């Protein structure tokens, strides 16, 4: 068997697509292509540590070295392939308006920041480790927000996404997921440069400039 990167990432491409474009039959196997390498490497590490839970992924990555994780992450981050639109449930206009509000303005009463505050104005993510949201399927977005709420997905403290997801009502998760999945993918899908999001946020609360994360 040839010892090539393409052969070694066959376990990844079986579910996520040849170039990491995401599965064509299901919205639950997400796109890897074009996401920040730092984000992809961190997710592999989280599966390996059991912080993020999904048995097939935990098994697949359990013996990977840090160097190999970064090699895989860099490969998929460099892939540029078209986005495939997935089905979105039909919702009342008021629900989609609520989703747009949460994505673009947040909900200060619930201490929920706008998604754009961290994921970028175009929702394509920010370097080095914040993923894009535009182009993701409804099923994937809603399932991941649910996973943050139940603790089957987590990250190192402060686990901001877990805090924010738990401030959302179930109907809010539906609204956000549907609105995002309905958006057109911009011509430039590259993540925004590091440091381009200002002022910085700490779990939905604005930080004073100079205050470390």
What rounded mean pLDDT belongs to the chain?
A: 88
- Contacts of 146 by beta carbon, 8 Å cutoff, 6+ apart: 165, 173
Q: Which of 23-27, 115-119, 159-163 has the lowest mean pLDDT?
A: 23-27
Domain 5-77 indexed as CATH 1.10.760.10: yes
**Sign of dihedral through CA atoms 13, 85, 90, 147?**
positive
- Once rounded to an integer, what is the mean pLDDT over residues 141-161? 91
**Sign of dihedral through CA atoms 82, 70, 202, 156?**
positive
**The pLDDT of residue 198 is above 90:** no
**The pLDDT of residue 3 is above 80:** no
**The pLDDT of residue 205 is above 90:** no
Residue 98 CA to residue 39 CA, distance in Å, equals 28
Percent of the chain with pLDDT over 70: 92
Query: What values do phi and psi take at 205, rounded to 5?
Result: -110, 130
Place of tokens 């074009």: 34
Alpha helices in 151-205 (DSSP H): 160-167, 170-181
Q: What's the CATH number for 93-205?
A: 1.10.760.10
pLDDT at res. 10: 92
Query: 64-104 pLDDT, tens per residue?
Result: 999 999 999 999 999 999 998 888 999 999 999 999 999 99
Helices and strands counted in the chain (H then E): 10, 2
pTM of the predicted model, to two decimals? 0.86
- Once rounded to an integer, what is the mean pLDDT over residues 102-127? 94
Residue 32 CA to residue 79 CA, distance in Å, equals 8
Angle made by CA atoms 134, 178, 14, in degrees to the nearest 5: 60
**The pLDDT of residue 212 is above 50:** no
How many CB atoms sit inside 10 A of residue 141's CB? 21
Residue 175 CA to residue 88 CA, distance in Å, equals 11
| 200 CB-contact burial (10 Å; exposed 0-12 / middle 13-18 / buried 19+) | middle
Domain spans of the chain?
Answer: 5-77, 93-205
Query: 156-196 pLDDT, tens per residue?
Result: 888 889 999 999 999 999 999 999 999 999 999 999 998 88
Higher pLDDT, 36 or 210: 36
Are 173 and 145 in contact by the 8 Å Cβ rule? The answer is: yes
pLDDT at res. 197: 73
How many CB atoms sit inside 10 A of residue 64's CB? 17
Residue 191 CA to residue 34 CA, distance in Å, equals 8
Is-same-fold flag (5-77; 93-205)? Answer: yes
């Amino acid at each position: 068997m040839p010892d090539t990167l393409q052969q070694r990432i066959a376990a990844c491409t079986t579910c996520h697509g040849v170039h990491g474009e995401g599965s064509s039959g299901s919205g639950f196997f997400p796109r890897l292509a074009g996401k920040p390498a730092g984000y992809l490497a961190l997710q592999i590490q989280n599966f390996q540590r059991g912080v993020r839970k999904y048995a097939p992924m935990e098994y697949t990555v359990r013996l990977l070295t840090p160097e190999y994780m970064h090699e895989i992450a860099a490969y998929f981050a460099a892939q540029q392939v078209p986005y495939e639109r997935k089905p979105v449930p039909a919702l009342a206009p008021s629900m989609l308006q609520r989703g747009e509000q949460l994505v673009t303005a947040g909900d200060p009463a619930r201490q929920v920041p706008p998604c754009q505050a961290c994921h970028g104005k175009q929702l394509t993510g920010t370097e080095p480790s914040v993923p894009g949201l535009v182009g993701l399927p409804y099923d994937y977005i809603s399932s991941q927000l649910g996973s943050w709420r139940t603790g089957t997905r987590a990250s190192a403290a402060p686990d901001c996404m877990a805090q924010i997801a738990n401030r959302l009502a179930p109907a809010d998760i539906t609204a956000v997921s549907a609105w995002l999945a309905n958006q057109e993918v911009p011509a430039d899908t590259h993540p925004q440069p590091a440091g381009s999001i200002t002022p910085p946020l700490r779990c939905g609360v604005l930080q004073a400039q100079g205050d470390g994360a």
